Structure 1
Amino acid sequence: MLVMEPQPPLPSQALSAAQDLQHALDRHGIPTDVNDGYGLAVLSVWSGLLVWCDERLYWWRTGWAPKGRRAIYAWHSTLEPVRTAHRVALRYADLRASRTFSETEEPACR
């Protein structure tokens, strides 16, 4: 009788895409945290900036449309994590620039 050793599960395509983007954002000096499940993955980048992905697309919130009372999202193909990282880095810079810290408060990510 052949006994098979249990193999660790392969990462999902969404997790692989999220890790590709995480490495690309690392090159911009932007730390992230990655979580996955149910066929999706999410990168926590900054307060108010989460990048979601599946096997095909990355998407993140870029603003709010008050007239339609809806969030506005940007998206990019998971085939281009470097270009996506550039776009996310621009949004990250905008959010950091608009955030003010009290004298006793430290930024969460450096």
Structure 2
Amino acid sequence: MSITNGFGGLSRGQGGAREVRSARPVTSETIIPPVLYLPIYIGVEGQQSVVVREQATGTRALLAFTALDRLATQCGNEQPWIMVQTQSLGYIKDAHPFDVVSFDPRIDERLVRDGKML
């Protein structure tokens, strides 16, 4: 798996598929892109963590965007992000457990400040 972040960094790992469910039903007309843009938080010591939010139903959703401009529109222009191969989401799930993937979610503007999510 290759992970590229918005700052030009590159991390390497192993590729491969694991089972991951979508928050929206996937039909034969649904096109899943080969890469996704994931908003991340960067800790005080530089560690990166993807954004997983608990939904009203109690499921944990990984926030994922199918295009960088969609991420910037919803999360803000200063939001740190990583790009991942869709087939590698299982490895993300191992490190940051989630139940579903929320593609191109709408982010409440009250959760964005100074160009990034709170």
TM-score (norm 2): 0.24
TM-score (norm 1): 0.25
The structure having more radius of gyration, on CA atoms, is 1
Q: Which protein, 1 or 2, shows the higher relative CO under an 8 Å CA cutoff with sep ≥ 6? A: 2
